[in-house]
Amino acid sequence: MKQEHVIKIKEIMNHKSVQETVYLKDHTTFRVGGPASLFVEADNIDELKALMSYIYEEEVPYFILGNGSNLLVSDRGFDGVVIKLTGDFTGLTVEDNEITAYASVPLSKVCLEASNNSLTGLEFAYGIPGSVGGAMVMNAGAYDGEMSFVVKTVDVLTEDCEVKTLTKEELEFGYRTSIFKKENLIALKTVFSLKKGSFEDINAKMQDFLERRRSKQPLEFPSAGSTFKRPEGNFAGKLIMEAGLSGYRVGGASVSVKHCGFVVNDKNGTADDINKVIKDVQAEVKRQTDIMLEPEVIRVGLFD
């Protein structure tokens, strides 16, 4: 990253919450990732607008970091700006049957707030380790539920650094995708539209989903959740298991023997180890079934 960009961004942010060479392994659920050239925390919309205006104008590489739960960051790090939304972007309010949550609020916190207010519709998301912003990008889902079922609107920052409110239809939600995958938009704030329900029923459903996750998923090891998208008419974990890849290992990373849909960092693996497991699994499943598994995990930085 050019030093002139580092100097200018520090000036824009008034040298507040700007760090050089921050290791991203401390900010991802895979617990891997080399240094970011610059790590910036933006506390409010004015700071974010000023920062992004410069980044867009100068074409500085960047990415927005949520909970780091769906990222595989290269061991070589990221030669650009990693932006963490803090301060104002951690707010959450409830009014009638709507919850308004900013991008950096943990999704599980929104679920708990819904439960505490006897609002139903978000139970499926309890235990998903991402942030609200990340959930919008991926249209996060589980147990036959997804964000598109409960989102009313999302406020976004456009490439022109204007705040715009998008409706559910304008968000172009699909299976693990959204308009954020196609356009340079940053999710700022989401309004969830829920329904009144029974506190006991909502809480029981949330606990049931949580127990299912604990019993069937390898939560004891660092991972990024489900590694692959679900192929049409099939299941990634089933295909991987039937291909004889349960427990397949490269270095410190392996296919989970508990759930083959998860690649886990169970022996202090590197990002390259994880990436090699993913690529090998794709190749072998493709060889045996002619189905190419598509990673759900987003790669950041350079890989071999």
Q: How many residues does the chain have?
A: 304
| Radius of gyration, CA atoms only, the chain | 20
Q: Any catalytic annotation for residue 226?
A: yes
SS3 of the chain: helix, strand, coil, percent, to 5: 35, 25, 40
What is the rounded (10 degree) CA torsion for 291, 296, 301, 302? -10
Helix (H, G, I), strand (E, B) or coil at 251: coil
Helix (H, G, I), strand (E, B) or coil at 44: coil
Q: How far apart are CA 132 and CA 99, in angstroms?
A: 12
**CB neighbours of 245 closer than 8 A, spacing ≥ 6?**
255, 260, 281, 284, 285
Q: Any catalytic annotation for residue 296?
A: yes
Kindly state the tokens that stand for 189: 């704030």
Sequence-separated contacts (24+) of 106-109 with Cβ below 8 Å: 106/67, 106/130, 106/131, 106/132, 107/131, 107/132, 107/135, 107/140
Q: How far apart are CA 182 and CA 158, in angstroms?
A: 12
Q: Provide the H-helix boundaries in the chain.
A: 3-12, 45-58, 107-116, 132-138, 199-216, 236-242, 271-289
Greatest CA separation for the chain: 57
Of 74, 115, 226, 254, which residue is the catalytic one? 226
Q: How far apart are CA 122 and CA 141, in angstroms?
A: 10
Of 176, 213, 223, 254, which residue is the catalytic one? 176
Q: Which residues are catalytic?
A: 176, 226, 296
